[in-house]
Structure 1
Amino acid sequence: MARDSSATKARLLDAAFSEFAAYGIAGARVDRIAEAAQANKRLIYVYYGNKEQLFDAVLQRALETGAESVPFDAGDLPGYAGAVFDHLVAQPSLMRLVLWKQLERPGATDTEAESYRGKIAVVEEAQKAGRVDASLDPADVLTLVMGLSQAWFAAVGGPAAGGSDTGWAPDRLAGHRAAVVESVRRITTAP
């Protein structure tokens, strides 16, 4: 009976996501990843090469999942910011993974750079069409939208801080989201 390598790869990626989100690249241990995935440690090297390449695969999958779950919409940047916020609420470890990536590997991956270039071009088109305020550079608009969407998660005491009390009451969470959406609306609405 042949083994299902795709199921093993998925378990390894899931376990690696949790491990990298908790410990970063330097602190992550392939032994813990293999144990959590109920897989032979050797398979990490067979499928991914090394720990750094496994991190790359985890990050790539997270970026692809995010793009599928939260499609970019320059015609509704406040709604997009709210959707990014919701995505991070649903996956609190994602922001920790992103912060570890920024700390240990500053700069954009090719996938991230390509995604940002595409989004900037779409924002610029929306500005030219009068749907988004053109007084700011489109790259600055995108940076502000993304920064506001992620701000509460990266803030001291937010879920990415990893403390024991990282949950917010539903009404406070709704208030955070409303502040993000309204802030983006004010920044991006064409005069």
Structure 2
Amino acid sequence: MRRAGHATRSRLLAAARREFAEHGPAGARINRIAAEAHASKDRLYAYFPSKEELFGEVIRQWLLELEAAAQPSPDDMPGYVGRLFDHFVEHPRDGRLAAWAQLEAEQHLLGPDFDILGSAVEAVREGQRGGTVDRAWAPRDLVLLLIGIARGMSVPGWSHPPSGAGRQPTVDRRRAAAVEAARRLITAAP
């Protein structure tokens, strides 16, 4: 693919990410995505044959970005939760994208070789083998809980004060609570 093609594809994915986060897969409109990316619908369909495939690629790219930002580690799964929290705070639309992905995404849209939770699940397994993570948990279940804690605690809502001086201590407190909850969940029983 030529440089111009990569740039167009990147613009389409960025516009689609915003559109899907805001409206979800059913409410997203190809016309708006193409217009925001300064591309034609025909050009969009040349890269992504369907809206479903475009959504799958947006989710796949986002999950890879999230994994790189959070870096699951068998020796520091509470830190993983903190890094997930930080990412969701820094990228508030990603919380919405995560919700849409949970509600709407089918695994086949991401491709047969793409394991959504692969590296985090493997980090939990390694932690269980090394004694840093409670072996009572099914690794996938624990990862889903940890992601849920990070996302749930990071989403602005009724417990966040409006913008202003009180906001940062509240975010810091909620991050600490998320990390502590993760620590308690993973701690191996004596």
- Normalising by structure 2, we get a TM-score of 0.84
- Using a 3 Å threshold, how does the CA distance of structure 1 residues 75 and 110 change in structure 2: closer, same or farther? farther
Q: Which runs of 5+ in 1 are unaligned?
A: 160-164
CA contact (8 A) 2:70 2:83 kept: yes
- Using a 3 Å threshold, how does the CA distance of structure 1 residues 141 and 103 change in structure 2: closer, same or farther? closer
- Using a 3 Å threshold, how does the CA distance of structure 1 residues 155 and 116 change in structure 2: closer, same or farther? same
CA contact (8 A) 1:21 1:100 kept: yes
- Using a 3 Å threshold, how does the CA distance of structure 1 residues 114 and 105 change in structure 2: closer, same or farther? closer
1:102 partnered with 2:102: yes
| Counterpart-to-counterpart distance in 2, 1:121 and 1:50 | 32
Pick which of 46-55 and 140-149 moved more: 140-149
1:4 partnered with 2:9: no
Report SS of the residue matched to 1:145.
Answer: helix
2:92 matched residue in structure 1: 92
CA contact (8 A) 1:120 1:142 kept: yes
Report SS of the residue matched to 2:117.
Answer: helix
CA contact (8 A) 1:44 1:50 kept: no
- The runs of 4+ residues in structure 1 deviating greater than 4 Å are 106-113, 153-159, 165-168
1:24 matched residue in structure 2: 24
1:180 matched residue in structure 2: 178
CA positional deviation for 1:27: 0.7
Q: Which of these residues, 158, 163, 169, is aligned with residue 167 of structure 2?
A: 169
Give RMSD over aligned pairs. Answer: 2.8
State, as a whole percentage, how many aligned pairs show the same letter: 36
The residue type paired with residue 180 of structure 2 is E
Matched residue count: 185
| Counterpart-to-counterpart distance in 1, 2:112 and 2:170 | 34
| Counterpart-to-counterpart distance in 2, 1:113 and 1:31 | 28
